Chains A and B, each alone.
Chain A
Amino acid sequence: MRYKTNLSQRGQADTATYRFAQGLGIFSIVLGLFEVVCGRWLGRLLGLEDKEYIVRLYGGREILTGVAILAAKDPTPWVWGRVAGDALDIGTLACGYARDRDNIGSKVTALAAVTGATAADVYCAAKLSGESRLPLPPVKDYSNRSGFPNGMPRAKTGTAFVSEVVVETV
């Protein structure tokens, strides 16, 4: 994506953040598949026994956002979508926690993992939103600026000579 970015990027297309977003998209799909396939087991582990369909539903949501991030020309709204999804996940996990204190270790781990993912999502979404929508101006062509008026071979003379004023070279 050749977008002009904010100042800290010194006017260059911020491909690093773009790649980061793509990474989040893939992560989203993998996690979603896992939630769909292992919905039952996950549900039990996290204290949502009778509500395993919720886990599967959330898995579907993850897959959809993931695909959208990868497919969209501009992934920004979809990365924000992930942030909203994260909030939903945290809420749901908190409910499971409130129900009973079984498997407390897994619940805390899950919460910590979701919080981490939220931080990454917010960072990425904010960074993407900082980009201006203007496409970069076309690249200037400096391919004729070799600096060697008579060609490189004639300039290739090896030694660097020291000026005459230097009387005591070391």
Chain B
Amino acid sequence: MRALVWHGKEDIRCETVPDPKIEEPRDAIVKVTSCAICGSDLHLYDHFMIGMKKGDVMGHEFMGEVVDVGPGVNGRLKVGERVVVPFTIICGECEQCRRGNFSLCERSNRNKEKADTVFGHTTAGLFGYTHLTGGYSGGQAEYVRVPFADTTHIKVPESLSDEQVLFLGDIFPTGWQAAAQAEIEPTDTVAVWGCGPVGQFTIRSAMMQGARQVVAIDRVPERLTMAEAAGATTINFDSESVVERLNDLTDGKGPEKCIDAVGMESHVTSTVDGIYDRVKQALMLETDRPHVLREMIYVCRPGGTLSIPGVYGGLIDKVPFGAAMNKGLTFRMGQTHVNRWTDDLTRRIEQGEIDPSFVITHQCGLDDGPEMYKTFRDKEDGCIKVVLRP
């Protein structure tokens, strides 16, 4: 089959690889009809995350048709059914899964020892995302093996198109959880850093969950316009002071809720801390650039909450923890517990409350995938979200 394969920094190729087969009783094979490139994939493309091996198949946002099931699936998934696959692999039985903390599943990471060493305790196995989280082949391919398939799926109504439901597997619930973890109240101003795909869903989720005002921060004009289209107030961090504007918009008190939808690859502008992070990264003394985190801690209203869907991979430096402590801030973060939210979100799409396809700007075949990684990373041609059809 054809698949997008990781070969190194900025080197992803469309190649022929062996077809996946059923390996465990609870496996299923899904024929992919649509898949997407996620901002998290860029951390692998730019080689910010370690733990990839040459030959790994990329992709964790995908959907398709079940073409084969193992004997252990026990009728909970049948050949021919149409499913979106969540990026977190879930056993459905461990204590974390039962509590709905799906991205912390205790049993799906087959490289548990590695993760135990690096993180202290393991988290869930993920598709197409480093050997630290299981080294499972991803979904930017014609076929995928889905482990624990009897629980690792979201069934979607035939009445909805691929474009409408594809993002149920990752970025929609990610934006939704980012807002939910902020515990938004009707009087709240919610500031969202980053207007990439995750930021776009975060902005809309914060509104749907009742925020008084949503402020969106980025520098890319198309992305700011898309944020405005949903009704957000925008700040271009390239031409305005984020801290000053946010204080102006909140009577000098700062936003109650701050959400980081940027993560470890924050732009380095000519700010002192941005240059500092670049230098430290070059000397390999720091892995991530926490500019947004610092800004959020500084500007957030005392007693406020920081919600962090943006991915960090390793070590960060010069985080003003004294300010965070003294201001009594709450930190919420994590990979998304996708299936925790998908019943509700599927219903909302069906009822026409939201149509996730608004974010798609580019569609193409698998062959154009490598080129699209670059277009998406460099935000060329107004690119916000790429959907591939294998």
Q: Show the binding face of A for B, using Cβ within 8 Å.
A: 7, 10-12, 15-17, 19-20, 137, 139-150, 152, 154-170
Contact = CB atoms under 8 A, between A and B. Distances in A.
A79 to B, nearest CB: 15
B379 A169 contact: no
A123 to B, nearest CB: 10
Contact of A160 (B209, B355, B381): B209
Interface of B: 92, 98-100, 151, 176, 179-180, 200, 204-205, 207-210, 219-222, 225-226, 228-231, 238-239, 267, 269-270, 339-344, 348, 352-356, 358-359, 361, 377-382, 384
Given A148-B353, A160-B176, A164-B343, 20 more contacts: A10-B378, A11-B380, A15-B238, A16-B269, A137-B381, A140-B382, A142-B225, A142-B229, A142-B382, A146-B230, A147-B229, A147-B355, A148-B204, A154-B353, A160-B209, A162-B100, A165-B151, A166-B99, A168-B98, A168-B100
Nearest to A147: B358
Main secondary structure of the interface of A (DSSP, over half): loop
Contact of A142 (B222, B353, B381): B222
A140 B221 CA distance: 9
Contacts of A170: 99-100
A160 B180 contact: yes
Contacts of B92: 165
Contact of B355 (A7, A20, A137, A149): A149
A147 B219 CA distance: 21
Contacts of A157: 208, 353
A148 B176 contact: no
Contacts of A163: 100, 339-344
B343 A161 contact: yes
Given A160-B344, A163-B340, A146 B231 contact: yes
A122 to B, nearest CB: 15
A146 B208 contact: no
Contacts of A150: 352-353
B221 A139 contact: yes
Nearest to B375: A11
A144 B352 contact: no
B234 to A, nearest CB: 12
Nearest to A170: B99
Given A137-B381, A142-B229, A148-B353, A161 B99 contact: no
Contacts of A169: 99-100
Contacts of A148: 204, 230, 353-355
A49 to B, nearest CB: 40
Shortest beta-carbon contacts, A-B, top 9: A140-B382, A166-B100, A147-B358, A11-B378, A163-B343, A161-B344, A155-B353, A142-B226, A160-B180
